[in-house]
Amino acid sequence: MQSEAPSAVTSRPVYAPIIIDSCSDNDVFICENLMSEQMQSLYLKSKCPAKTALCITSDDTDIAVDGVAEKPIKFQKISDFLGSLPSLVKPMTLRSRVYLEGSEPFMWRLYGMFLAQGMVAEQINMQSPVSNKRSLFCTHCFSVTDDVTTTVAPCSGCGRLLHVSDHFSKRHAAYFCYQVNAEDPNDVPQVQELT
């Protein structure tokens, strides 16, 4: 069994339970794929005069959610969403809040987008990641490999076998990775599931 102890590397994000901010004037809820029950209940708790629910999913399934009055707006890809971001944030103020749900790289990519719009970290709330998927930053070729769940994983750019560390960059929404067998080509540790 893996221990549940938080990583010793302090750049690894920790996720605190979300509390709905009752002063907000504009709440935006964004989910990767379907909205979880937990997120639905947060959505219902928000008494905000303006609130929006969004799902970003490549899936064709219906995203209607019981109990959430308006059907969430659906986007196929993050890049589609990016186009509508300026009009979404236009009415937002220093009082507004964003709530994110999904995998860790998904949430941090959106985090970067909202930061670029002028939001500050305290306005952006993240659920604990829904999966152990990580994005890897290869320090040798600088490419980012998505959807990795194991350490010792091949880089999608240069093909090297990478060790996945816990050193995290918010800007890259990815973890620091380096060739696992650079010192000794025959010394490749066993593949392990990431936590």
Positions that interact with another protein (CB under 8 A): 8-12, 21-25, 89, 92-97, 117-123, 137, 139-140, 142, 160, 165-172, 176, 178-179, 182-185
Q: Which residue has the tokens 């939001």?
A: 119
Q: Which is nearer to another protein, 22 or 61 (CB)?
A: 22
CB closer to another protein, 130 vs 145: 145
Judged by CB, which is closer to another protein: 19, or 69? 19
Residue with smaller CB distance to another protein, 17 or 185: 185
- Least distance CB 6 / another protein (angstroms): 12
Smallest distance from another protein to CB 165, Å? 7
Q: How far is the CB of 123 from another protein (least distance, A)?
A: 6
How far apart CA 94 and CA 142 sit, in angstroms, is 35
For the CB of residue 66, give the shortest distance to another protein in the complex, in Å: 29
169 three-class SS: strand
Collect all residues with Cβ–Cβ distance below 8 Å to 79 and sequence separation of at least 6.
Answer: none
CA distances from 185 to 89, 150, 156, 181 (A): 50, 19, 19, 5
Burial of residue 193 (number of CB atoms within 10 Å: 0-12, 13-18, 19+)? exposed
